Amino acid sequence: LKKQDDPLTKNLLGHDAGACRILISDAKTRKIYSGGSDGRILAWTYRNNQWSSEILVDKRSNYLVYSLD
């Protein structure tokens, strides 16, 4: 994948105040959702050969986002 410059090998930058703790994919919407130790929740969409993010929940102090699965 890396040799073919596949988008799966590129970083999803958006959790700038901490690590991404969870990634969830939704086959219906074809989006990826991420939550991090910065309390931020992002929805990721792949268009025009690049990933773009939409902030669903902005940075919060004293919040961590984890998955129950």
pLDDT (tens digit per residue) in 13-54: 787 777 788 888 898 988 999 988 888 899 999 888 788 899
| 3 φ, ψ (degrees, to nearest 5) | -65, -30
Q: Is the pTM of this model over 0.85?
A: no
Q: How far, rounded to the nearest angstrom, does the alpha carbon of residue 18 sit from its chain's CA centroid?
A: 12
pLDDT at 58 over 80: yes
Given this model, what pLDDT does residue 9 score?
59
Mean pLDDT of 56-65: 80
* Longest CA–CA separation in the chain, Å: 40
pLDDT at 57 over 80: yes
